[in-house]
Amino acid sequence: MTVMKSINESKNIFTVIDVGNSKVSCLIGTPVKTNNVQIKALGFGQHASLGMSNGQVTDMKEIANSIARAVEGAETMAGFNINKVICNLSGGRPITKIIRNKLKIENGRVEKNDILKILKFKNHYQINNYEILSSSVIKYYLDNNTCVDNPLGIFTNTLTVEINYIYGQKSLIKNLSSAVNLCHLSIEKFFICPEASGVSTMLQDERINGAIIIDLGANITSVGVFLNNKIIFSDSIPIGGLHITSDIVRGLGTKSEDAEKIKILHGSTLSNETDEYIKIEIPIISDQGDIITQNIPKAMLTAIIKPRVEEIFELIRERLRQLKPDSNCINQVILCGGGANLSNIRELASNYFETNVRIGRPIGLIDLPEIVQAPSFACLTGLLIKSLEKEKIFNLQNMDKGILKYFGKLGNWFDQNL
């Protein structure tokens, strides 16, 4: 067996793809043996995203080609081929739902069969046109509402479990799976964008104590709320950076590609007194259809960008009102995605949400190409981190694996020693 074949077949090699509306990116990585927290990047590739609009597949052949080109670039850098990937899900308004199950403990002490029983309860888990992507235990509660991480062997009359379910739109899952299959690849698992972006950019303390992730993408802005190290709320808004670019096109009369460059080089969400006197040279389309150069004050560009960003923030605030407990108790917001590169957006968000705001960049990875160390690749790097964690996450769809085996072994110990 060759070295490359050995590497390719290793269970410690993970490949992830972020299928966005502006770009498709692929990252191959492996955990560092001396540090399970960090991941070493082995290969990276990206390609313009064609065949996607507002998070939905609009041309199967085009998006499959974009995926294939991005994967090819990552394989070339890594030096070997891959056949399985883990993919993001940003469109279709992913849903996060928390459900509580309650069980009466017959003999007054929690045994492994009680845990098996309460986890297998069937409530109204299904949502029309959605399927469950993952599920995990958040906390267990005893009679007096005391919160415990592991109830096995504890004396109580009732046991309540709080379970987190994450859902994705069925049609989008099928379409993305078909596109990936056209590249002779298979999808192992989907993770929603805000979950991946949050894991990539947040410190564990932030995820435990409560924080909001806002991923400002090209066509979609994803939002997620973390508490107790779990994502407890997720949603998406069909507005993103390309809408800002379109506003600049309409407001200044320039071409789309020029508007995008102007946004990147000079775009800001807040003005200061000097912006009226700072001139920006821009190419515009004249009445005769020619391209001519015109100077405009920077404040004029900011006046176009700011209302659109405020609209995004206002829609996010409306969606967060659905959250229980109230999101106002969370005092940390992390901005990522391409829109997070806008000048002064952190200050605008801080004023708007009246809380601490920072720009989120990928953390916990080494040998990451410099281009990937940016807010716009938060989802991609988060997918790689989630891939490493996925073996440790308890999935209710695999009752005979993971934590239940652990409970079984621990239960035997309790039976013999208590």
- Residues in the chain where the model's pLDDT stays below 50: 1-9, 391-418
Q: What pLDDT shows up at residue 327? A: 63
Q: Give pTM, 2 decimals.
A: 0.87
The per-residue pLDDT for 11 is 62
Q: How far is CA 363 from CA 89, 231, 366, 392, 418, in A?
A: 21, 18, 9, 20, 43
Q: Taking the CA of residue 64 as centre, how many other CA atoms within 13 Å lie in the half-sphere pointing to its CB? A: 14
pLDDT number for residue 124: 58
CATH number of the domain that residue 102 is part of: 3.30.1490.110
Question: Is omega for the bond preceding 325 within 30 degrees of 0, making it cis?
Answer: yes
CATH number of 296's domain? 3.30.420.40
> In whole angstroms, how far apart are CA 385 and each of 78, 103, 353, 381, 388?
18, 34, 28, 6, 5
> Is 338 inside any structural domain?
no
Q: 138 in a domain, yes or no?
A: yes
Longest Cα–Cα distance of the chain, Å, equals: 89
Query: Whose CA is closest to 176, among 274, 64, 263, 300?
Result: 64
Identify which of 136, 39, 2 has the alpha carbon closest to the alpha carbon of residue 387.
39
Partner residues linked to 169 by β-bridges: 130
The answer to whether residue 115 sits within a structural domain is yes
* Domain residue limits at 264: 241-304
Give the C-alpha separation, 324 to 327, whole Å.
7
Residue 399 lies in a domain: no
**Residue 164 counted as domain residue:** yes
- Name residues whose C-beta falls within 8 Å of residue 43's C-beta, 6 or more positions apart in sequence: 26, 27, 28, 73, 74, 75, 76, 77, 78, 79
Point out the domain boundary residue: 267, 283, 304: 304
What per-residue confidence (pLDDT) applies to 418? 37
Within a domain: 403: no
List pLDDT tens digits, range 258-279: 999 999 999 999 998 899 999 9
Helices 298-320/241-252 angle, 10° precision: 140
Q: Which of 112, 147, 169 is the last residue of a domain?
A: 169
Asked if the structure places residue 141 within a domain, the reply is yes
Domain limit, last residue, from 169, 198, 221:
169
The rounded distance, in Å, linking the Cα atoms of 91 and 321 is 21
In the chain, % of residues over pLDDT 70 = 87
225 occurs within a structural domain: no
Residue 415's pLDDT is 41
Split into its structural domains, the chain has a count of 2
